[in-house]
Amino acid sequence: MSERYSQSSETFKKVEEIKKSDLSDNIKLVASKVLEDKPPSKAELVYLLGLKDSQERKSLFDLASCVRHDNVGDTIFVKGIIEFSNYCKRNCLYCGIRSSSKIERYRMTKDEILDIAIEMSNCGVDTIILQSGEDPFYTTEMIVDIIKSIRETTQRPVSLSIGERTVEELRIFKASGASKYLLKQETVNREIFEKVHGFDYDTRISLLKALVDLKYIAGGGNIIGLPDQTLSDIADDILFMREIGVRMAGIGPFIPTKGTPLEHYPIGSADLTLNAYACTRISIPLVQLPTTTALGTIDKNLQYKGFEAGCNVIMVNFTPDIYRKNYRIYDNKRKVEFYETINDLSKMNRRLTSLIEKAVLNQR
Ligand code: 5AD
C-alpha cells in the first residue's frame, strides 16, 4: 500500500468493498492498483472505458469519487472563461471557428477583457481563463500586457488557452504572471491528429511537454469520438497525460458542427466521456478535472453527472452575448451561466469555495 491512503481513507474502504464484491477480477485488480498508487494498464483502461451502465460502472464512479475526496477534496472549483477572439489561423476539421468558416469574426480589446476579468473576480471565480482561436494579431507584448493588468487588478490566477506559441513566448507569459496553460493534445493517435488538424503532431506534443517543464500548471485533454478513434486511443491519452505530468485534463465529446467537414459525423458518446473522467481521476489522482461544456451541450444534467465520476471543476462563461454567439467552436454550445451554475451546485449540496459562497449570498 502507498502512503497516499490510510486504512481509514474513503478510497481504502471502497477498494475493500470492491474486492469483497462479486464484480469482475478486472475491476478488483484496478482497485488494488489504486491503493498501490499505480495506474491501470492500457488493457484495463480499455475494459473500464467500455463499461456500460451496470453495478460495475457505478463502482468505478464511486471509486473515482473516493480518489477525488482523498486527494483534492470535494470542493468544486468554478473557473471563469473569456473567449476574447474567434479568429483562428488553423483549419481543424471539427471546429466551428476554423479559418475557412464563414462566420462573423471579433476581437476584444484589452479594456473589454479587463472589465470582464474584474466582474469575474467580483463573482469569486477561482481562475480567469483567457481563450481564443490561434490569433497572431495578439502579439507577445499584447498578451503580456493583458496578463499583467489582470493580475494587478484582480490578483486571480490567469490561465491561457490560446493555442500554440513558441517556447520563448510561453516562458515570457509565465514570467508575466500566467500560471496555467491549456493546450490539449486532442488525441495522441498521430494519424488521427494529423488527419483532423493538418498540422504537426510532434510540435503539439513537445509544446505540451514544454509547458510542464516551464512549471506551468499544464493542461492536456482530448476529444472523445474523433473519426476512427478507438477505446485504445483514449486509454493512450490518459496514460500519456499521466506520464508527462499534466495537472489539468479537459476531456469532452466531439460535437458535429454545421459547415465543417465533420458536420455529418456522429456525436461523441456522453457515457464514454463520463467513463473517461472516472478513468482519468483514478489514473491521475491530483488532476484538476473539469466536467466540460461540450458534455453539457449534449445535456446539462450529464455535465453535472461528471461530478459523480471524479470531476472537480466547472467552467462558466463570461463572454459578452454579442461575441459569444460567434464563438461557436461547436453547434448549440451551452452557455454555462455563472449564477445558474452556482445555484444548481448549491442545490446539489456540492461544496464551493468561500469566495463563491459569498457570491451566492450577495445575489439575494
Ligand atoms: N466538438 C468537441 N470539441 C471541440 N473543440 C473544438 N471543436 C469541437 C467540436 N466540434 C474543442 C477542442 C479545443 C477546445 C477549445 O474545444 O478540444 O481544444
66-77 tens-digit pLDDT? 999 999 999 999
Shortest-distance atom of ligand 1 to CA 131: 15
Contact partners, residue 243, CB within 8 Å, separation at least 6:
none
Mean pLDDT value of segment 226-236: 98
Ligand 1 centroid – CA 313 distance (Å): 18
pLDDT tens figures, 74-89: 999 999 999 999 999 9
pLDDT of residue 361: 78
Q: Which residue of 181, 197, 330, 332 sits with most ligand 1 atoms within 8 Å of its CB, as the best mutation to test the pocket?
A: 330
Q: How far is CA 76 from the centre of its chain?
A: 13
What are the sequence ranges of the domains in the chain? 10-70, 76-363
Q: Is 355 exposed, middle or buried (0-12, 13-18, 19+ CB in 10 A)?
A: middle
- Measured CA to CA, the distance from residue 273 to residue 285 in angstroms comes to 17
pLDDT band at 359 (very low <50, low <70, confident <90, very high): confident
- Nearest Cα neighbor of 282 from 93, 79, 68 is 68
Q: How far is CA 18 from the centre of its chain?
A: 28
Q: Is 136 exposed, middle or buried (0-12, 13-18, 19+ CB in 10 A)?
A: exposed
Shortest-distance atom of ligand 1 to CA 257: 10
Share of the chain above pLDDT 70, in %: 99
Q: With a cut of 70, say whether residue 270 has pLDDT above it.
A: yes
Q: How far is CA 176 from CA 1, 149, 326, in A?
A: 42, 10, 29
pLDDT band at 33 (very low <50, low <70, confident <90, very high): very high
Mean pLDDT value of segment 111-128: 97
- Measured CA to CA, the distance from residue 162 to residue 77 in angstroms comes to 21
Beta strand extents in 86-190 (DSSP E only): 128-132, 158-161, 178-182
pLDDT band at 301 (very low <50, low <70, confident <90, very high): very high
Ligand 1 centroid – CA 61 distance (Å): 25
pLDDT tens figures, 204-216: 999 999 999 999 9
Q: How far is CA 118 from CA 77, 125, 153, in A?
A: 18, 10, 7
Q: Which residues line ligand 1 (CB under 6 A)?
A: 94-95, 184, 186, 223, 252, 254-255, 257, 294, 329-330
pLDDT tens figures, 34-55: 999 999 999 999 999 999 989 9
pLDDT band at 1 (very low <50, low <70, confident <90, very high): low
CB–CB of 316/124 below 8 Å?
no
Ligand 1 centroid – CA 339 distance (Å): 24
Q: Could you name the CATH architecture of 76-363?
A: Alpha-Beta Barrel (3.20)
pLDDT of residue 125: 96
Ligand 1 centroid – CA 294 distance (Å): 8
Q: Tell me which DSSP letter residue 3 carries.
A: S
pLDDT of residue 48: 98
pTM for the whole thing?
0.97
Ligand 1 centroid – CA 50 distance (Å): 23
pLDDT of residue 167: 98
Q: With a cut of 80, say whether residue 285 has pLDDT above it.
A: yes
pLDDT band at 364 (very low <50, low <70, confident <90, very high): low
Shortest-distance atom of ligand 1 to CA 184: 18
* Residue ID of nearest Cα to ligand 1 atom 18: 184
